[in-house]
Structures are given as C-alpha cells and as structure tokens.
Structure 1
Amino acid sequence: MRPEPGQVLHFSEDPTITVFEPHVAATAKQAEPYVWAVDHDRAPDYWFPRLCPRAMAWTEEYTTEDDRLRIIGDEQRIHAVEYGWLEAMRTVELYAYRLPADEFEPFRDYCHVSTRTVHPLGPAERVGNLFDLHASAGIQLRVLPNLWPFWDRVTVSSLGFSGIRLANGCPRGQAVPVFQSESGCIRST
C-alpha cells in the first residue's frame, strides 16, 4: 500500500474518516496543529497497528558496508517489532486514506503536513495483510524479544533509521519472554 503520484497517505484503524482536520497529536513534539501524511518511501513505516512499537533501519548512500552487514545483513531495509505485537499485526484492520499531495508540505525528512482541512480522494482502503506487504516490498521483518538492543546499535551506526512508538515497547533489559501482557510487552513469570 503506497500512494500513487500526486498523493500522500494517512494510515488509520478507523475506516470512517470523511475529513481530516489539523490537530495537535497526543505524541506531538510541536504545538502547531497538523494533518499528517506520508509519501511513497515512508509508507512502510506505518504498515503496523497504530500503537505498535517499531524500529526501522535502511541503507543510505553514506552507510558503511561494515554497518550494513553487522546490523541488517544483506538487506537494504528492515523493520523490527517485539514478539508481543505479532498477534496485533496479524489481526489489525488497518486502512489507508489517499490525500492530495499538493495540500501538504514536507516536514523534516519523514512525513508531510497540512495546516488546512483535507478531504480524502476517496473512501478508506483496507491495507490487508501486513506480513504480505513487508514481504512484497522486500522488507525483512525482524521479531525480537526487546527492541532496545537493536535500536541502540542502529542509532550509533551509519544506517538511516526511525523509531515509532518505542515507549510502548518492553523496557530496557526486559527478561526472557514467557507470556504476553495486556500492554503487548512480553514478560517473564
């Protein structure tokens, strides 16, 4: 699920949105109200349940061969999630809204924002199987008991990276997985 030329996407678990009003997101680090969307390259960052913590890494032109091989192997891009989120990834009903790109401005290097009310170009489209999306795009999905060791390696490397909802993941140093808690974190007994 990627936008077509002239479009950006907004992903949601709500298939009933008819208009997007600028707002300050609960997780926002800025005070300005925006409508948020992503382009073709960053759409895979959102092929997850909304609250799912994920760490992503990819090669850039400046990525060293040593970093690539040491952290992501032969891949060009990988996404990492915790074991506790696999069921949510399997069962979530995720939707994408196609929005007119000319209503948006680039924001930093990872998304697009609008300060105006934006109407979707059509109804919400069901995204489908998230594992299939990753496989079709050639993105390795790495499943880990805890994201922090991976994140710590990635953030000091020459790879490009992004982390979303990391606070929803297991705490640093979490014990070996035994069962899933309501938060999605794997906890030991």
Structure 2
Amino acid sequence: MRPDPGEVLHFSEDPTIERFVPHVAPTSRVAEPYVWAVGPDRCPDYWFPRACPRAMAWTGPRTTAEDAARIVGAGCGERVHAIEYGWLKPMLGAELYAYRFAAAAFTPIGDPPHAMVSTTPVTPLGPPERVGDLVELHERAGIQVRLLDSLWPFWDEVIASSLEFSGIRMRNARR
C-alpha cells in the first residue's frame, strides 16, 4: 500500500475519520500541531498496529557490506523490520486503513525528511482503503519481518551501524 503520484498516505485503525485536524500527538517531539502523512518510501514504517513497537533498518548509500550482512542478513534483501513475539498476533489480526491526501497540502519534516505534515485541516481524497494482510504486504515489498524476544539488543546494534533506521513506539518494547 503506497500512495499514487501526487499523494501521501496516513495509516489508521479508525476507518471513520472524515476530516483530519492538526494536533500535537502525545508522542510528538515537536510542539506544533500537525496532520501527519508519509510518502512512498516511509509507508512500510506504518504497516503495523499503531501501538506496536518496531525497530527498522535498511541499507543506504553509506551502509557497509559487513553491516548489511550482519544486521539485515546475507541474501535477505535491503530492509528488515523487527517486532517482538507478543506483537505477532495483533499484527496478524490488525485492521489497518490508508487515507489518501493530495501531497500539495503537505510539506516535508525532518532532516532528512521522514514524514509529511500539514498545518491546516485536510480532507481525504476518498474513503479509507483497507490495507489487508500486513505480513503479506511486507513480503510483497521484499521486507523481512523478524520476531524477537526484545527489540533492544537488535536496536542497539542497528543504531551503532552504518544502516539507516527508524524506531517507532519503542517505549512499548519489552525491557
């Protein structure tokens, strides 16, 4: 599930939202109210239940072959998403929806940009679309899903490596 050209997506477990109004998310590191969305490159970061902690790593221009083989795995593609065993059933049963928006209403945020934000209310281009089987979506995208007892040892390796990475809802990960 990726946006069409000129679009961005917002993923939600709520299929009833008709209008998105900027707000400060409780987990946000910024104080400005935004409506958040993502472009095609960052959509896989959100193919999970909302509260699911995930540690994600992928190869980039500065990634060494050693780090890619050690963390992603030899012959395993260019990207790995790790979750904890306790989140497998919620992931398999998640009902996730994608809302499409005109990209023109959004601006990039972050350095490098990792999301798109709007400071004004936005209305989806149409009804939300059911995303479907999240594990199958990862498989079709060539992204491995790794199951771990705890994300923290993996995360420590990832952030010390030459890989690009993102960690979402890590506060929900087991210690």
TM-score if structure 1 supplies the norm length?
0.90
Pick from 149, 153, 159 the counterpart of residue 155 of structure 1: 159
Alignment correspondent of 2:64: 64
2: CA distance, partners of 1:55 / 1:110: 15
Alignment correspondent of 2:83: 81
Q: Does 1:13 align with 2:13?
A: yes
Measured against aligned partners, the alpha-carbon deviations of 1:22-44 in whole angstroms (never above 9, x if no partner) come to 00001011110000000000000
Find the structure with the greater CA-based Rg: 1
Secondary structure, aligned partner of 2:136: helix
Alignment correspondent of 1:146: 150
Long gaps (5+) in structure 1: 172-189
Measured against aligned partners, the alpha-carbon deviations of 1:76-100 in whole angstroms (never above 9, x if no partner) come to 0010000000110011110000011
Deviation at 1:6, TM superposition (A): 0.4
Deviation at 1:70, TM superposition (A): 1.0
Task: Report the identity percentage.
Answer: 63
Q: Does 1:90 align with 2:92?
A: yes
State the Cα RMSD in Å. 0.5
Deviation at 1:12, TM superposition (A): 0.3
2: CA distance, partners of 1:129 / 1:72: 23
Matches within 5 A, 1:1-189: 1-74=1-74, 75-108=77-110, 109-171=113-175
Secondary structure, aligned partner of 1:162: strand
Secondary structure, aligned partner of 1:110: strand
Secondary structure, aligned partner of 2:101: strand
TM-score if structure 2 supplies the norm length?
0.97
2: CA distance, partners of 1:169 / 1:158: 23
Displacement over 2 Å in runs of 4+: none
